[in-house]
């Protein structure tokens, strides 16, 4: 059996992946870059900096801008994103999330957040869910973003749990890769088509069979 559950935030616990997408899409439109929801799959889970590089890469614009211009674009995207999440409340928690957190807490399972987002603390406090987590690792704390395993390794180390005793919940290709590179069990939230490498895929957290993994 496993001892620790590591959750991604955006698109797993809370329905914010769509807001990241809307904000990147607005920037892409301004820059005349063709950017669809399919392109967006590769932006999920990676850092703000890398997302911009991938976005600019779609149109061969990658070397056209100075560092300051890129910083300005990231700032603009983030301000738009912040405006979308300003009113966010518990109604934007994804199906099964709160119930699973409750169950895991009652069973004494270690609960860790492993998010790439620098806005994770803000969202957690707006939703009032920080208290469920034994360890919170977000984009402000890690040097190397997913698919690098750093975020999950750091979280498991802080929770004092061996990597092979951790189950990771992820909605992104990069996150599944990071979980597998950490020697953890990777549960994809979404579709098998989007996350073919996941150990298993469920459509939302209410589908997770807790008894199979945790005592
Ligand atoms: C991840 C999201 O959780 O965080 C990405 O899946 C996002 O879409 C990344 O780009 C970084 O987020 P932020 O809030 O630091 O810009
Ligand atoms: Mg995610």
Quick: pLDDT tens for 50-99: 999 999 998 887 788 999 999 999 999 999 999 999 999 999 999 999 99
SS3 category, 79: helix
Tell me which residue has tokens 């969202």.
Answer: 123
| Closest ligand relative to 21 C-alpha | 1
Q: What ipTM does the predicted assembly reach?
A: 0.99
Would the annotation count 46 as a binding residue?
Answer: yes
CA distance linking residue 139 with residue 31, whole number of Å: 26
pLDDT at 153 > cutoff 90: yes
* 211 C-alpha to ligand 2 centroid (Å): 24
Average of pLDDT values for 93-113? 98
Query: Are 145 and 153 a contacting pair, CB within 8 Å?
Result: no
Residue with the nearest Cα to atom 16 of ligand 1?
A: 48
């Amino acid at each position: 059996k496993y001892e620790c559950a590591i959750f991604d935030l955006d698109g797993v616990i809370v329905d914010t992946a769509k807001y990241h997408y809307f904000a990147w899409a607005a920037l892409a439109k301004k820059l005349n870059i063709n950017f669809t929801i399919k392109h967006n799959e590769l932006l999920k889970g990676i850092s703000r900096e890398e997302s911009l590089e991938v976005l600019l890469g779609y149109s061969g614009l990658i070397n056209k801008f100075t560092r300051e211009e890129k910083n300005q674009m990231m700032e603009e995207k983030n301000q738009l994103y912040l405006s979308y999440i300003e009113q966010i409340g518990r109604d934007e928690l994804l199906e099964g999330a709160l119930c699973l957190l409750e169950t895991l807490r009652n069973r004494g399972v270690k609960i860790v957040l492993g998010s790439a987002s620098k806005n994770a603390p803000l969202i957690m406090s707006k939703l009032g869910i920080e208290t469920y987590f034994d360890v919170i690792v977000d984009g402000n704390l890690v040097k190397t973003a997913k698919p690098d395993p750093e975020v999950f390794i750091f979280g498991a180390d802080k929770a004092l749990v061996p990597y092979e005793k951790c189950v990771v919940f992820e909605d992104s290709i990069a996150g599944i890769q990071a979980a597998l590179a950490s020697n953890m069990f990777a549960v994809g939230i979404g579709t098998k088509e989007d996350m073919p490498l996941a150990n298993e895929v469920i459509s939302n957290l209410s589908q997770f069979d807790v008894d199979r993994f945790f005592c």
